[in-house]
Amino acid sequence: MKKLRTVASLSFLLLMGCHSNSTQQDSPVEGESPRTVSPRKETRQQTRVLAKDTLNVLQEEVIRKTARGGEADFASFFRKWAQSIQRENPREFNGYIDPTRGLYLIEAPGAVPHFTHVTDISTFRRMGAQPGMFFTIRETFQECRLEEVQVLPTLTCGGENNNFSREGCFVAEATAFRKSDAYQYAGLPPDEQKKIAQTQLLVSRTVLHTGSGFKFHFGQIKGQWRVLFIDLTVPCSA
């Protein structure tokens, strides 16, 4: 808030200074033809420039603050979220689902992906070769000590728990997932596809747990971390 007041005060002083300069420059000099530029028009242009500069300063400050505390906040959030799975606590887990956006769970029981939308995890039932309630994932999703990386490990399908180029639990920017168009091949109605596409844009972190092959996608909504997508596709199972 102090930063906002300082930026606003600077903008006001700059605006007043520009207005004063404009008035002096518009005064005709003896023997010189008067200018045709309207003082009001020039002032409006200067105001727009100052407003744009002020917005850029504020955006840069927000980005700096997010970068300083974002990773530590996410790591703390993720530990608590993962513990809710180990405790098999639906009520606790639901607290990490945005009540408006909900949670999309992705599976691939056949040749095409299957999307399930829930706001209560207790209503979800897994498909395919590992049917059951959601919390059965704890059988393979166990220890997850986050390691931050620039790019997530790639799929190799080497077999014998060696399906990725590196083994462990990794977190990275969700750039790749935001570009995913898998929902277009899931046979969903256009309105649902639009909702998924809009929700994907909110995802900022992807966690890959190579032991299970699961991917978890998170984003901040109104300042709170939320789980937005969970990909339960079992890699190299085709």
3-state secondary structure 26-55: HCCCCCCCCCCCCHHHHHHHHHHHHHHHHH
Other CB atoms within a 10 A radius of the CB of residue 37 amount to: 12
- Name the pLDDT band for 38 (thresholds 50, 70, 90): low
Q: What torsion do the CA atoms of 14, 17, 22, 28 make, to the nearest 10 degrees?
A: -170
Residue 39: the pLDDT is 53
Strand order in the sheet with 169-173: 114-118, 103-107, 224-231, 214-221, 205-209, 169-173, 146-148
Residue 225: the pLDDT is 98
Residue 1: the pLDDT is 46
State yes or no: pLDDT of 18 exceeds 80: no
- Give the whole-angstrom CA distance, residue 165 versus residue 160: 13
Residue 207: the pLDDT is 98
pTM confidence score: 0.71
Domain regions of the chain by residue span: 2-25+39-69, 87-231
- The residue written with tokens 């409006």 in the block is 44
State yes or no: pLDDT of 2 exceeds 50: no
**pLDDT, mean of residues 104-132:** 90
The three-class DSSP label of residue 119 is coil
- Give the whole-angstrom CA distance, residue 196 versus residue 183: 7
- Give the whole-angstrom CA distance, residue 69 versus residue 217: 19
Is 100 buried (19+), middle (13-18) or exposed (0-12) by CB count in 10 A?
exposed
pLDDT tens per residue, range 156-200 = 998 767 789 999 999 999 999 999 999 999 999 999 999 999 999
Identify the residue with better confidence: 132 or 128: 132
Q: Which two structure tokens, joined as six digits, stand for 233?
A: 């596709």
- Name the pLDDT band for 12 (thresholds 50, 70, 90): very low
